Structure 1
C-alpha cells in the first residue's frame, strides 16, 4: 500500500484491558489532532464495535466512523495487512514475548513504525539483537517500553540531566506507591492483575538469571554508583531493588547515547519503597519463592495453570473491575548526584538534585500507560524530523530526546518536577 494512502496509526489489541484505555485516551487526545486518521484492530468485530460504542456513550463522542480491522496475532497475513495500512502501529497485545515478534516482523516488511507498551526485558532484548539492522534498512523506528514501564524512569533521568546545571553522574530512583485498603480487599476477591501480565511476570523470571541481575553495565563510569543493600532505609521508608524493566531500558538509552553522541552515560539504580519492614520482608520472601518456582518447568506450569490460587486471588482471567484502581497513586523520587559546571569530574560528586515524576488521575497505571504510548505514536507522526537520523530499534529516551513529548505528558497528568536542590 502506498504510504500516502495509509492511516496514521492503528491500535492493535484494542479489545484488551490496556487496548481499551488506549482507544479511550486516543478519542480524547485525538480532538486536538483532527487530521490524524486512526483505526482499531483485533480478532473480534463485535468486541471492537462494543469498545467504540462504550467509549462513545461515556464521552459523548461519535466513534462510529472509526475503521475496524480484523487481525489475529496467530495469523501472520492479517497482521501484515494491519501493518501495511498504518504509518504507526500501536501494539497492545501481550504477553509480548509470545505475541510481539510477529507484529515487529510485519512492521519491518511494511515499512511501518512500531511502538508498544511492553515491559518484558526478554522481548526488548530480542528485538535489539534480531531486528535493529532490518529496521534500519527499512528506515523505520521500533520503540518499545512506551508505557509507564519505562517512560517515567527513562524521561526522568533526561529531565534531571536537563535541569542539573552541571554534570549528572548518577540517579537513584525510588518508586512510592499508595494502595487504599479497599483495593487490596477487593483485589483478592475479584483480582487486579490480568492473566497476560501474570504470564509475562512468570516468563520474565524464568528467563532472567542471577548473573544477569548482578551484571554491571557494559560502560564504565567513575565514580561508580554502588548497589545498596538488599533491604535498606531511605526517604523514611524501607526499600528494595526494583526488579522491573526500568534499569534495563535506562541503561540501553545511556549506552546508545554514549555510542552515537559520545555523551557521558548516567548511572541508574531503581528501588521500590514499603511502609514497614514487615511488608518489605514479606515481599522478599514472596519474590524469592516465585523466582525459584518459575525456574522449574513443573512448578512454572503450576503457576500458569492455577494463577488465582498461586497469587492469593490477585490474578484474574478477565478484566479487573471498572474503577478498581481508582485512588491508587504512585510517584518516583529521583535522586541525582554529580558536579557543578566547571568542576573536575574526577573528584567526589558534590551536587545533589531531586526530581519527582508522578502520575495522577483515574486508574493512573493503565491510563498513564495509554497516554504515554499515544503520544509516542503521535510524536513519530508529527515530529519525525526531530527523531534520530538513523532509525532502528531504540528506547523512547533515545527516539524522543529532542521532541516536545515531555511537554505533552506534563499536560496529561504525567508530571515531571524538580523538588529539591
Structure 2
C-alpha cells in the first residue's frame, strides 16, 4: 500500500461507537506512531467530534464520505491503509464499504455482531479479498473478541486436546444505573438479525459444503441450568459469539488441520426472577420480529419492549463506566492429543481447564479491541494467514500478539484452574 496513505481512517466517527473509537484512537495511535483520520457525511459534525475528543492533536484529516455515494467511498478508502467501519447496521450499510476496500486494496475492520451479514460477506468476498491482498475482519468489538479470542487462549493454554468449551457471560454494574444501557443501533441490528435468522442455514450450506467430522462425546445444549463455574441461572446466549467461534474453529481445521472444538455459549443471571423477565421479553421480541408491523413497533418504542435498557437517546457515558463483564470458559478434553484431527478418543475426557476473560464496559472494550485489531493488521500481517481474506478475529489474530495487547489495556485473560482425573 502507498506510504502516503493515512494508517487508519475511522468511518462513522460521529456515531455513538465512532466517538468512543476517536477518543481511544488518540492515545493508541500515538503509542504506535500511527496517523488517523475521521470520515462521515457531515464535515461540521466531524469537526465537533475532533474538538470534543481529539483537540490536543493537530491536523486530523477530515474526509467527507456517504454510504450512498460510491465515488466518495472510493476516495475515502484510497486515503487509508485500513478502514475502521463504525457505520451500522452492517446489513444495510456494510457491503458498499467492503466493495470499496477491495477495489482500492484497503484493509477493513468493523464491530458487526450480525451473523447473516458476516457469513454472507465471507461467502461473496473472501476470494476477492485474498486476490487484493487485504484483510476484512468483522466482530472486532465486544461481539466477539472476548469470546472468540478467549476460546483461542483456552486452546493455547490447555496442554492437551479439547473436546468441548462452554462459555458463560456475566454482566453487572458497580452502581445505580440510570437511563438506557444499549445504543439504539445495537437494538436495530438485533431486530433485523432475529427477523432474518432463517437465512443462515442456506448461507452455511453454501459457505461450508462439506461437513466437519463428528466428535464424541457430543456437546449437549442446556436451556436453563446452574453451572459449577458461573453462579446464578444460565441459559443459551443468542448473540453472535457462537457463530463467530464456530467459523474460527472451522478455519483452524481447514487451514491447520487442528481438531475443532465444540462450542456452546450461555449467559448467566443472578436470580431466577431476572431470567424469567428476560425470557418473557425475549419471547415477545422474537415473535414481533416475524412481521413488518412488529418490527416497526420494536424500532419505534425500544424502551417499552426492552424494560428501558434501550431508547432513542444515546446511553450516558457515566452509565457505561459502571458496567463490567466476564466470560468464563469451561473446557473439557484429554491430556494427550490424537495423532490426526479426525481421530476419535475411546476414553472419556480426563482434563478440565477453567479460564476467564474480564474487563470494563462493552463499548469501551469494543473501541479498544477495534483499534488494536486495526493496529495488529498493520504491524503483524506476517502472522495473519493467507495474505488476505474475510476472517473472524480468532482466525486473523490467533497467532499474533493481540491477546497480549488486550491484556495491557484492561481486558484480562487468565487461567482459573486446571484439573486432571
TM-score of the two chains, using structure 1 as the length reference: 0.92
- Spell out the pairing of 1:198-217 with structure 2 (5 A cutoff): 198-209=187-198
Does residue 25 (structure 1) correspond to residue 20 (structure 2)? The answer is no
Show structure 1 runs of 4+ deviating over 6 A.
none
SS of residue matched to 2:239: coil
- Corresponding residue of 2:36: 38
Task: Deviation per CA, 1:59-116: give whole Å up to 9, x if none.
Answer: xxx2231111111112221111111111100000011111111111111111111100
Q: Secondary structure at the match of 1:182?
A: coil
Q: Does 1:412 align with 2:406?
A: no
In 2, Cα distance between equivalents of 1:210 and 1:331: 31
Cross-structure match for 1:392: 389
Is the 1:11–1:41 Cα contact (8 Å) retained in structure 2?
Answer: yes
Contact residue 217 and residue 348 of structure 2 kept, 8 A: no
Moved more, 134-143 or 218-227: 218-227
Alignment partner, residue 159 of structure 2: 165
Deviation of the 1:192 alpha carbon: 2.7
- The equivalent residue for 1:54 is 52
Shift of 1:236: 3.0
CA contact under 8 A between 1:52 and 1:64: conserved in structure 2?
A: no
Question: What's the CA shift for 1:180?
Answer: 4.6
Question: Could you tell me which of 127, 137, 153 is aligned with 2:121?
Answer: 127
Tell me how large the CA RMSD over aligned residues is: 2.1
Are residue 329 (structure 1) and residue 324 (structure 2) matched?
yes
Determine the C-alpha separation between the residues in 2 that align with 1:220 and 1:271: 24
Q: Offset of 1:264 from its aligned partner?
A: 0.6
Q: In structure 2, how many angstroms separate the alpha carbons of the residues matched to 1:255 and 1:342? A: 18
Q: Would you say 1:220 and 2:213 are equivalent positions?
A: yes
- Alpha-carbon contact 1:156-1:357 (below 8 Å) kept: yes
Q: How does 1:296-375 map to 2 (within 5 A)?
A: 296-341=291-336, 345-360=345-360, 364-375=361-372
Alpha-carbon distance, 1:390 to partner = 4.0
Q: How many residues end up aligned between the 2 structures?
A: 406
Task: Determine the structure 1 residue equivalent to 2:69.
Answer: 75
Segments of 5+ residues of structure 1 without an aligned counterpart are none
Q: Which residue of 1 aligns with 2:226?
A: 233
Q: Would the alpha carbon gap of residues 282 and 308 (structure 1) be closer, same or farther in structure 2, given more than 3 Å must change? A: closer
- TM-score, length basis structure 2: 0.92
Output the CA distance in 2 between the equivalents of 1:89 and 1:412. Answer: 22
Alignment pair present for 1:256 and 2:254: no
- SS at 2:50 equivalent: helix
Uncovered stretches (5+) of structure 2, i.e. residues with no partner: 339-343
Q: Helix, strand or coil: the match of 2:221? A: coil
